[in-house]
Structure 1
Amino acid sequence: MIFKGMFDNNKKVEKLEYRFEIPEGTNRISLNLTKGAFKDVIISLEDSEGRTRVLTSFKTFKKKYYLTTHWESTSNCCIPGDIPAGEWKIKLLKPYLVDSEFELEVIVENGNLIKKENMKKISLKEHYLDTKEWYAGELHNHTNVSDGRMTLKELKKEILDKDIDFIFPTEHNSVLTKYPDLDKPVIPSTELTLDDLGHFNLFGLRQLIDYYNFVEENETREESLKKIFCEVKRQGGFVSLNHPFHNSSKMCLGLFYNIDLKDLDFIEVINSPTSEDRNAYYDKKALEALDMLWCDGHKIFAVAGSDNHGLTLGDPLNYIRLDKYSTENILENLKKGRTYISRVGEIKLRMENNGSVIYPGDKVNGEVSIKVFSSQNLVWKIIKNGKVVFTQKGKELIVNQSVFTGEYLRVEGVSEDHEPMVVINPIYNSLKEPSIEKWFDVKDVVWRD
């Protein structure tokens, strides 16, 4: 069966649906993306019982998908299982202006199932042997499953070579359902890219999100995003705002939608520091926004990601303090802000308050002792309520500070060129109720140039 057509460039949002019959006894459906522009046009396959079984887009180097009754022979980004007879649907969501032809082929079969390469299921229930206190992970990365150059096999080698402890795969609009056989946590996630006016990482997903059901032709993008964020939270997941001010001559990727700040759990403050058009100015603006949010009482924590589209990852890394080395504990402590970001490897961090050890993201009261040791010389800054109150150069920072009602404090290490290299999430005491509700109230203050 061939389904083809032409997208209407006069429509900013376009939804197309094609129906076909699946006979009894089918055990494999092949979906081939035979023609289509390399764009974020989202493709979903829905079975006769209303379940989303395949989620991908035309912006992928993977053009063939196999949905079967068994996990081993089913492609990535697909949900295996019974293939019920009846009317199935292919749904196309074009969420922005795209003018191109497209063609998809569906082949319905009942034959031998071929086992794919050695892969593992992605699960939120995994536990591993505890070996240390802080674990390093990558939160923003791409492979050829979407628009990255790296294969999953090459990604596995990078993870092992760089001793990365966990990874959040964030392919564009797709959720990986299988991963190379690694004895490390892999947390199901995705990068939501309905267009290039705002990207978000969605962490800890338990189900595929069929965006077709959440985006309508005659609604604002803010309304569509709100519904998607609500679905993420319903699943127990989290929302991270990616590269909020990355606006270069080559590409504009900042956030240009006036979303509700209460929908955000994280803000990406260091993004793709090794890319060719890298400008640390964008990250400095993200940190400025972070301070503005905390001054207003928002507990939105800092994260970072390599956002790799090439053949390397792991710069920067997010270090999370874990009680148990498990996928659930990673998500739990990420949400608490019990993390720091580093481009210089693991640092030694010890903070105490009233005789007790504390961690980033903790509520404190009174005097706090802070000790940081790094492998590289940096300019260390203590930032309290948006203002730098102490600086020290070198490989270590040893200082006492106080945090009282309505205050927060965070630590930052920058290079001689003032590029952010280490960002430690805040500690705080009884912040006020936030008064700023919308993103533009932050953007219009921070993005002055």
Structure 2
Amino acid sequence: MKKIYVLDTNVLLYDPQALTKFEDNSIVVPITVIEEIDRFKKDMNETGRNARQVSRLMDAFRKEGSLSQGLALESGGTLKIEIYEEKVMKRLPPELREERGDNRILAVAVDLMESQSEMPVILVTKDTNLRIKADALGLDAQDYESDKVAIDDLFDGFVSLEVGAEVVDRFYSQGWLDTELELQPNEYVLLAQAGNPSHSAIGRFDRVSHRIVPLGKLDKEGVWSVFPRNLEQSFALDALLDDNIKIVTLVGKAGTGKTLLAIAAGLQKTAEENVYNRLLVSRPVFPMGRDLGFLPGDIEEKLTPWMQPIFDNVELLLSGHEGEKRQHNKGYKELMAMGILEIEPLTYIRGRSIPNQYMIVDEAQNLTPHEIKTIVTRAGEGTKIVLTGDPYQIDNPYVDAESNGLTYVVERLKEQAISGHVTMTKGERSELAELAANLL
């Protein structure tokens, strides 16, 4: 049965292409939504760009027919702008009669529900409270789920297999193992003997040869003196150091070593092996809790509070860990002065082309799928991109654990040969950090 979808403003600001993603159903955009989009169009951020794109799409549709009467879309559905009528507001409960944008959108949806009885009317909004209000009025309300990924079903990046002892021995003796299993490209495999899990081997599935192959070997000094502490970190380092894997996603809770391993591998590939010209590190600027407001100083001074977690990890790698003296004694400022390390906000990345660089985007769970696409499409020839983050620690009010750009990339690229992913669950920062991550 065809349906009528009433779209909230936040849906169009989240995904300007939402107007084309409802197949052969009818789309209704309340005039209040157009007014709200107009207020965002001058913003110089991603929301402002999305608002301008929605306006351009609407204007293009307007040339093909009357938006007030409804016009046919290529998908087979229709698009119509619905005018809000004040008399409809009087039919809402007293608490919802205040002249606010959400209430006007509710009034349009309720009026359609009462007048279009032959077709189900569904309000689509990313506003949780508006969905609750709609439900209280007997109106069907749904989240916009075009880019949602079920977090519980998210691709882990590795699989454990119980095999016979001879299989493990054969893997060690010949250095590879044929398999009939349908694994994803670069999916990691733990081969454990049934009944004797200590007799095991680890490898990675190679789609070209359709074999499980060993992980790349680390030299005796590790990766900038960093050694993996568990299987997940071994898998992550293998993906981070493999130049054939052009995009790596590391998903995990706080303290699992995502950022530290990514920076260590990046420094190894740039400062030691000279595979890439520069290590470029960035992260979205979202405060936890109350924002401090404008920060004084030039761009470097303004960025320092936001990029301090990156500096902390670089200093840890440079100065030593657990009392060990390292040969790398340069500070991060010297690495930046030498052009080996560059810290940059994502604000200015649009329009750039980034060739032959090792690029790390930390806290990528705070990005929308559209923002992630903008970043990844900046990659020039020879560039490797690493996305790290924890989907359960999100500060961006417009995304959640299932609709953020990080999980979106994991799911959409898992079948690609140049993509690698590892989900990390074992914390290694400290006993206290692990306890807090699990219990608090």
- Shared fold by TM > 0.5? no
User: Which TM-score applies when normalising by structure 1?
Assistant: 0.26
In our comparison, the structure showing a higher alpha carbon Rg is 2
Report which of the two has the higher share of strand.
1
- Higher RCO, 1 or 2 (CA under 8 Å, sep at least 6)? 2
Report which of the two has the higher share of helix.
2
User: Which TM-score applies when normalising by structure 2?
Assistant: 0.27
